[in-house]
Amino acid sequence: MRRVALLCALMLLLVFISHPAEAQSKKESSNSAPKSRTPPPKVPSQKKNSSSSPQQPKGKSSNSKKKASRKKRPAKPKGQLKPDAERTREIQEKLINSGAMAGPPNGVWDSGQMGEAIRRFQQMHGLNATGKLDVKTLKAMGLKS
């Protein structure tokens, strides 16, 4: 019995010296259930994508030492932007033809004069007279929004 134990110990020592990693796995496999010898399937490496990583709260960085270099965008203006000169001239022509505005179209958006003319146009057409150019007003003028 001693010879068998000694022989097993020598064989393990020999295997451990020639292949230390294999001997370690054999030692672990003898303590637990048998494992398959096939290696796990390889997963293709993917580049880190910010959209696939878990979302961090704003202002928090996963690495406190590393600062994210983000370009600051200008803030979007609130409300509607003024139309360009061509579109303004087109709106002014419609207001003049309807009688809500007097004078030749000049393509300049004068907030006071244009607002008042739009308000008159809206009243004449039974719209909510806000003096602001909205979709319903543009449709009443026969223009696309």
pLDDT for the residue numbered 138: 92
Task: Report how far residue 114's alpha carbon sits from residue 139's, in angstroms, rounded to the nearest whole number.
Answer: 17
Amino acid 122: pLDDT: 95
Cα–Cα distances in Å, from 67 out to 49, 75, 90? 17, 22, 49
What local confidence, expressed as pLDDT, does residue 28 receive? 55
* Helix axis angle, 20-31 to 2-18, nearest 10°: 130
Question: Measuring CA to CA, how many Å separate 79 from each of 61, 122, 133, 134?
Answer: 33, 20, 11, 11
Name the stretches of the chain with pLDDT < 70.
19-37, 40, 44-69, 77-80
Q: What pLDDT does 136 receive? A: 93
Question: Is the separation of the CB atoms in 88 and 82 below 8 Å?
Answer: yes
